[in-house]
Amino acid sequence: MAEPANRPDLAAMIVPLGRSLMAAEQPILAAHDLTMWGYVVLSHLRGTPTRTQAALADAIGADRTRIIGVLDELQQRGLIRREPDPTDRRVRLLSLTAAGRRLRDTASAAIQRNEERLLAALPPADRRALLRSLRTLAALPRDRIVGTA
Amino acid sequence: MAEPANRPDLAAMIVPLGRSLMAAEQPILAAHDLTMWGYVVLSHLRGTPTRTQAALADAIGADRTRIIGVLDELQQRGLIRREPDPTDRRVRLLSLTAAGRRLRDTASAAIQRNEERLLAALPPADRRALLRSLRTLAALPRDRIVGTA
DNA sequence: TATTGTTATACTCTATAACTATA
DNA sequence: TATAGTTATAGAGTATAACAATA
């Protein structure tokens, strides 16, 4: 058993790659006055307006307490709306403003322009398969990956 | 300009996926009494015995000061050798012991067994293309990805 | 003087606990 | 009493600065 390792661990390839991609985003985000979490929030709200801050935190894999300062700033800058739900005044309805959407789309375009530079290293068919596969894996629920520890 | 975003950012897919994969490794590593950095060190030394601790730290993307405790423990447990270079007694020659190699291979097999579960979600051709592509991207030097910020 | 490794310290990021308000 | 949000605090992980040994 235990044949010789003929491929690196998935994690060993993906984690450092992720770190590099994050580092590559940093100057782009800074140019748009966005923190990484700020950008993540905008990106998530762009697809799916969210009913509670807790649900948002959960969806983006952050702690509830961590996103509060982020939301404060995004709201102050008029990039998101954060209105008490008339039905239940404890919850804050979260959505993007037009300005928020514009900013996030501009930043995203710049980020993807940079990413295209890397993807150019791949044959077109592999490139497509990579993106398709990553979408599939990224869509898996976290505990499907982690296993019921 | 700025056509509607038709794909998620690479980073947005890869980073959370990496976090989940790391979380999935955790219990497996714990079962072998390994920390993540410990495992990373063993894995790197397995492929390439390294001449200085600084070079090792650099190769695995860690700080010089961070790996010292890790090396201490691995050495104490007889998993690595760490001998002063007779040529230059400042440097420590680092390599795996037989026990170190065995342990890392066993852990790696368990990790990859778990990863196979996920890869099974992909069509075989995509799966191959994904691994091939990740290898290519992971082999890129970091500053090729980050750009000369 | 420059470099390897080490130790001690400070900083950042993240999670935990305690509090307020609504229900 | 339970839940959403917030604030204050503590903890983990990481990097920075100062030091000792060797070249």
pLDDT in tens, B17-67: 999 999 999 999 999 999 999 999 999 999 999 999 999 999 999 999 999
pLDDT on residue A148? 60
Which residues of B are less than 8 Å from A13 in CB distance? 134-135, 137-138
Quote the CA–CA distance of B84 and B116 in Å, as a whole number: 40
Residue B4: pLDDT over 60? no
Residue A52, C-beta contacts closer than 8 angstroms, at least 6 positions apart: A91, A92
DSSP B76: H
Cβ contact A131–B15 (<8 Å): no
Q: What are phi and psi of B68, to 5 degrees?
A: -60, -50
DSSP string, A55-109: HHHHHHT--TTTHHHHHHHHHHTTSEEEEE-SS-TTSEEEEE-HHHHHHHHHHHH
pLDDT on residue A25? 95
Q: Are A140 and B118 in contact (CB under 8 A)?
A: yes
Token pair of A113 as six digits: 């322009």
Of all residues in chain B, what percent carry a pLDDT higher than 70? 95
Identify which of A15, A126, A29 has the alpha carbon closest to the alpha carbon of residue B142: A15
Residue A1: pLDDT over 80? no
Residue B148: pLDDT over 80? no
Best CATH choice for the domain B26-139 from the list 3.30.9.10, 3.60.20.30, 1.10.10.10, 1.20.1250.20: 1.10.10.10
pLDDT on residue A149? 42
pLDDT on residue B46? 96
B133: contact with A, CB 8 A cutoff: yes
Domain range summary for chain B, segments of one domain joined by +? 26-139
Best CATH choice for the domain A31-138 from the list 3.10.250.10, 1.10.10.10, 3.40.50.10470, 2.40.160.10: 1.10.10.10
Q: What are phi and psi of B132, to 5 degrees?
A: -60, -45
Of all residues in chain B, what percent carry a pLDDT higher than 90? 91
pLDDT digits (tens, 9 = 90+) for A5-53: 489 999 999 999 999 999 999 999 999 999 999 999 999 999 999 999 9
Average per-residue pLDDT in chain B? 94
Residue B149's pLDDT band (cuts 50, 70, 90): very low
Quote the CA–CA distance of A42 and A28 in Å, as a whole number: 15
Cβ contact B145–A24 (<8 Å): yes
pLDDT on residue B21? 96
Question: What's the Å distance between residue B5 CA and nucleotide D9 C1'?
Answer: 41
User: In chain A, which residue's Cα lies nearest the Cα of B135?
Assistant: A13
pLDDT on residue A24? 95
Q: Are A4 and B106 in contact (CB under 8 A)?
A: no
pLDDT digits (tens, 9 = 90+) for B96-106: 999 999 999 99
Question: What's the Å distance between residue A103 CA and nucleotide C1 C1'?
Answer: 51
Quote the CA–CA distance of B93 and B48 in Å, as a whole number: 11
Question: What's the Å distance between residue A59 CA and nucleotide D3 C1'?
Answer: 18
Average per-residue pLDDT in chain A? 94
Cβ contact B138–A8 (<8 Å): yes
pLDDT digits (tens, 9 = 90+) for B109-143: 999 999 999 999 999 999 999 999 999 999 999 88
Partner residue facing A9 (CB), from B1, B17, B112: B112
Residue A22: exposure state from Cβ atoms within 10 A (0-12, 13-18, ≥19) = middle
Partner residue facing B133 (CB), from A40, A122, A147: A122
From the CA of A59, how many Å to the nearest CA of chain B? Answer: 11
pLDDT digits (tens, 9 = 90+) for A78-135: 999 999 999 999 999 999 999 999 999 999 999 999 999 999 999 999 999 999 999 9
